[in-house]
Chain A
């Protein structure tokens, strides 16, 4: 019996996406260890990677990285197809959709902090909508909005600042776009 070899043709961009998604997954693994007072309130450190990819390589690649991170991250955490997974997907989709709009804001005035805050708000909006229409169809959910929104603003700002610092750092610009596979 001859072993059949399936070889997928991959491009340097694919490799780069995979590398970035792996980095983002690493960050979400890291933050999974941080205890949270309320389920759903977490820093979302992986979004720092998404923001950097968005600024450096554009929206398409950021969307890939974000969704791959959610999918592969859930496999690693054992949460694939659980409610938590769908909440992540819904949050990520909303976030990406908003980033698709906010990336067109003039870069002169709006930096990663803006994108991060918009993304964080979209993330909780997506999650809360899914919770409302699927898990807890009760208007009492509205009581949680201020808590989630405050967390989104806080962590969104912090993540945006981290991303901005990375993007402003002098010697990282030259090495990252080198798409060698």
Chain B
């Protein structure tokens, strides 16, 4: 089954509505009414969440209505809720990019920013850009070193480090 645009619309509306429900649950614990000191802490989030749920329901209804209408009459080619949300080709591109990015985040947390960035940039250039592996890694390393100079030397902001940096005498 391909994900069509109205599926995405419906999914988004349900998610934003769920966020509203979560906020109501959180706000209810704090009290959503009035006390002697004015509104209780949960008052503001509670009413904002009510509005959010209302707007989400409206969008949900709108998406369903557009879907039903498109099934009865030939849809507007420029604004067709039945068109695939992400064609296969685009989906693959997004998934690859997101996968690499997630790996980079995990890398940052385990081996530190500099090593993770070197490999992330190097491997992407190698696998997708058609560069030689050593060339990609060299570009990545040059990038990491320049960020080190900018952040840690000039601005004195430490970035995440892993097990490698102490071995090189960098803390």
Do A and B truly interact? no
